A = this chain, B = another copy of it.
Amino acid sequence: MGMTIALDAMGGDRAPGIVVDGAALALRERPDLRFLLIGDRARIEPLLVRHRRLSAAVELVHTSEAVAADAKPSLALRQGRQSSMRLAIDAVKDGRAAAAVSAGNTGALMAMSKFVLKTLPGIDRPAIAAVVPARRRPVVMLDLGANVDCTAQHLFEFAVMGEAYARAALGVDRPSVGLLNVGTEDIKGHEAVRDAAALIRDSGLGIDYRGFVEGTDIPEGTVDVVVTDGFTGNVALKVAEGAVRLMASSLGDAFRASLRAKLGYLFVSPALRALRQRFDPRLYNGAMFVGLAGIVVKSHGGTDAIGFSHAIGSAVRLVEEGTNDRITAEMRKIASPGPQLVAASS
C-alpha cells in the first residue's frame, strides 16, 4: 500500500472543491496514494460523488471547525484544536499520514506545525522553502517569511535544509547553494550574512557553496538554492511576482494597442501560451515548512485543483526522498565533533 497524505479539506479560497478535485488529479498520477480528507462531511461528501476512484482511496475525517483565512496564528493555535488544519498536522504527528497539505492561513499553519511537530534535532527555526522559475532551471528559495530576524546560525541551518529540500524538489544530485547579499565580494552585507558564509564554508558538510549571490541571480538561476532571511526572501518573491505580472499585463495592453498588433497576436498566441505554461505558478505550487519533525506543505490559498495536485505531488516527493532524514543526518554531523576536534580537545 502506498503512502497516506493528510489533506486540510477546508483551507484555501475555494475549499473544499479544489482540495477534492486536486486529490483526484494527484491520484491519477499516483494511483497508490491514499488520503485522509479532513473537514466538513456535509460539504465534502457531495463532492466525492463525482470521483469514484478517489472515494475508494479516501478516509473522510469529519470536523465542523476550520481556521479562518484572517485568524491570528496565536488564536488559531489556542482555539483551533479541532480544526481541519490541526487534525491534518496531528495525523502526521501520530504517524497516520506521511505528510500534511493545506491551502489555509500560513501563519496559523506554521504556528500549529511548530507546536505539534517541533523542530528536527539541531534546527532552531523552521523556514518556508519553495521552488521558483528561473532561466537555467528552477531555483529553491528560503526563507520566504517565517523568520523576519535571522542570525548567522539560522541562515546556516537554512542552507543545510535548502540543500536537502532541493535534492527532492528539483531532483538535483548535489545542489549548488548561494547566500543572498547586496554584492558578491566577501566584505559586502551585514554581519549575519558574512558570518553565515563562514559557517557554511567551515561546516565540513560538503555543501556545494558558491558564495554570495545578488537579486539578479534568482531569476537567472545562477545557483540551485538561494538562502536568505524571511524578510528579504518574502519581499524578493513578491517583487518578482509583481514584476512578472506587470510585464504580462503591459504585454497584453501592447497586443490590444492597434489593429496590426491584434492581427499579429493571432500568429504569436501559441508561442505565448507555451511561455505562460513555463511560468505557470500552479506548477510551482507547494511550499515546504522545512526544519519540522514532519512534512507539512503549504499550498497557495488562491490556487485551483491543478495547483493543489502539484502541492500534493511536492509532499509525496519530500517523503520519498527522505528530505527530513537527510537534514537530521547533516545536522548530526555538526553536533558530533570530527576527529580533529576530538584530538585537539584530548
**Which A positions have Cβ atoms within 8 angstroms of B?**
134-135, 145, 148-149, 180, 182, 189-191, 214-220, 228, 230-232, 234-251, 253-255, 257-258, 260-261, 263-272, 274-275, 278-279
Contacts and interface: CB of A to CB of B under 8 A. Distances in A.
A163 to B, nearest CB: 21
A235 B238 contact: no
Contacts of A243: 219, 239-240, 243-244, 247
Contacts of A216: 238-239, 241-242, 245
Chain B CB within 10 Å — which of A145, A180, A239, A266 has the most? A239
Contacts of A135: 246, 249-250
Nearest to A218: B239
A285 B253 CA distance: 25
A257 B230 CA distance: 38
Contacts of A265: 264, 267-268
A214 B235 contact: yes
Contacts of A232: 231-232, 235
A258 to B, nearest CB: 6
A248 to B, nearest CB: 8
Chain B CB within 10 Å — which of A230, A242, A247, A254 has the most? A242
A135 B251 CA distance: 12
B271 A267 contact: no
A180 B235 contact: yes
A236 B243 CA distance: 10
A4 B266 CA distance: 53
A266 B250 CA distance: 19
24 contacts: A149-B190, A149-B191, A214-B235, A214-B238, A215-B238, A217-B242, A219-B242, A236-B236, A236-B239, A239-B239, A240-B242, A243-B247, A244-B247, A247-B247, A254-B271, A254-B272, A254-B274, A258-B270, A258-B271, A260-B271, A261-B268, A264-B264, A264-B271, A265-B268
Contact of A270 (B234, B251, B260): B260
Given A257-B271, A261-B267, A235 B234 contact: no
A220 B242 contact: yes
A250 to B, nearest CB: 6
Contacts of A218: 239, 242
Given A237-B215, A238-B215, A243-B219, A230 B268 contact: no
A247 to B, nearest CB: 5
Contacts of A249: 135
Contacts of A241: 215-216
A237 B215 CA distance: 7
Nearest to A220: B242
A189 B231 contact: yes
